[in-house]
Amino acid sequence: MLQKSRRDILRTGLGAAILGGAAMAAGSSLANNATGRLAFHNLHTGESLTAVYRDGGALVPDALDAVNHVLRDYRTGEVHPIDPRLLDLLAALSARVDTRSPIQVISGYRSPATNAMLHAHSDGVAKSSLHMKGLAIDIRLADVDLSRLHGAALSMTAGGVGYYPTSDFVHVDVGAVRRWSGA
């Protein structure tokens, strides 16, 4: 496989963002020859990224590094690897809801210090959150109603799904299948 340049990986066109999950079945990982593309907009840092993180089924290290950076703990700047299964889940979810928008990131990776601080101030933050392992993300989509995004995530039965309609986000993770609602 040819090594892609950073420019190839970080394409600016959002049209490519939705194609990544097209080959996926609900709750499954990308097919062996699939391309995984995602677009993110981190609401806290203002950063945007469109990346091909999987090409022909193989992970693209430069793209994963870029994703890890955009999904870092914005409070501390700490970067942590995001599990590719979470990226595959996001690609499948994006395809399922047929979005044309980047994934708006409320919370990606959280350092233990950030998670402890949030847990101390909110019953809605788990003490051992999967965010600290790069296995969870809190998101919304500009062109998809939150309740529709929530329903699509639940229908995939691929991990945990939290619904926070007052705070305007859906939590998805690649942990055990479970569901809950919060504020």
pLDDT per residue as tens digits for the range 83-131:
999 999 999 999 999 999 999 999 999 999 999 999 999 888 899 999 9
Higher pLDDT, 183 or 143: 143
What is the assigned CATH class of domain 6-181?
Answer: alpha beta
Q: What pLDDT sits at residue 157?
A: 97
Q: What pLDDT sits at residue 124?
A: 81
Exposure b/e, 126-158, CB count within 10 A at least 16 = b: beebbbbbbbbbbbbbeebebeebbebbeebeb
Q: What pLDDT sits at residue 73?
A: 98
For 21-25, 72-76, 106-110, 117-121, which range has the lowest pLDDT when averaged over its residues?
Answer: 21-25
Please write the tens of the pLDDT for every residue from 125-181.
Answer: 899 999 999 999 999 999 999 999 999 999 999 999 999 999 999 999 999 999 999
Provide mean pLDDT across the span 44-54.
98
Tally of CA atoms within 13 A in the half-sphere of 143 that contains its CB: 10
- The tokens describing 40, both together, are 């993110």
CB distance 181 to 150 below 8 Å: no
Task: Indicate if the pLDDT at residue 4 is higher than 90.
Answer: no
* Stated pTM of the model: 0.83
Task: Indicate if the pLDDT at residue 17 is higher than 50.
Answer: no
Q: Measure the CA–CA gap between 112 and 21, rounded to whole angstroms.
A: 31
Q: Measure the CA–CA gap between 163 and 146, rounded to whole angstroms.
A: 9
Domain ranges in the chain? 6-181
